[in-house]
Amino acid sequence: MTAGHIMACHDCDLLHRLPAVADGMRATCCRCGAALARPKRNGLERALALAVTGLVLLALANSFPFLGFKIQGQARETLLLTGIRQLYTQEMQGVAVLVFITTVLAPLAQLLVLVYILLPLKLNRRAPGMFQVFRWLRTIEPWSMMEVFMLGILVSVVKLAKMAQIIPGIAAFCFMALIFVLAACMASLDPHVVWERWEEPQ
Ligand SMILES: [Zn+2]
């Protein structure tokens, strides 16, 4: 946040006039000690780079084999989307839709929104409807649950390990990397920086 701005402490509501805070340092509330501002160096650029990386990883995770099974000499490979389709055909439409939304649709929407907002900001422009889209990002965020899906996969792999040989595919590694990339991207993104850039005259 810009120095001189008045802001309320998120924890105790005490009003502060923000001092200039150097990168890597933080301003804390003088009453309760909560962090008021913690500027991140190149936060916007880092978030943009991570969002683009995330899109590439998501594309790879959906195009390459996710898991391979070898049972009694027979080998079989599945894609992430094939698994979801299998759920759908096995009378588990609700679960299939939920898995599709939380592992493919929500992360894709999240990454596209991030690039849509951050790329023009980097070029000192504003994307049309940026304000609404940025709010929308907060709504999609809780629906992105790739780590829950990955945990489910790990549990079933451990259970199936005795019956079949399981080979994780390229997509599984990309998917795992995507979980960390998306988390790092959201952590690098400081909403205050986005609002400030938005308020600046073009
Ligand atoms: Zn406080």
pLDDT in tens, 155-202: 988 888 888 888 888 999 999 999 999 999 998 888 877 877 777 765
Per-residue buried b or exposed e for 143-158, using 16+ beta carbons within 10 Å of the residue's own CB: ebbbeebbeebeeeee
Distance from the alpha carbon of residue 5 to the mean position of ligand 1, in angstroms: 16
The residues facing 68 across adjacent strands are: 77, 167
77-88 average pLDDT score: 88
Tens of pLDDT along 102-135?
999 999 999 999 999 999 988 888 888 888 898 8
Distance from the alpha carbon of residue 26 to the mean position of ligand 1, in angstroms: 14
| Domain layout of the chain by residue ranges | 1-39, 40-199
Distance from the alpha carbon of residue 18 to the mean position of ligand 1, in angstroms: 13
Distance from the alpha carbon of residue 145 to the mean position of ligand 1, in angstroms: 32
Cβ neighbourhood burial of 165 (10 Å; 0-12, 13-18, 19+): exposed
Distance from the alpha carbon of residue 15 to the mean position of ligand 1, in angstroms: 8
CA proximity to 185, closest of 57, 39, 52: 52
Tokens 């390229």 label which residue?
Answer: 170
Rg over alpha carbons for the chain, rounded to the nearest Å, is 21
Name the pTM for this structure.
0.82
8 Å CB contact between 29 and 36: yes
Q: Identify the band that residue 56 occupies on the pLDDT scale cut at 50, 70 and 90.
A: very high
More confident residue, 3 or 164: 164
Distance from the alpha carbon of residue 23 to the mean position of ligand 1, in angstroms: 21
Paired tokens of 27: 């301003």
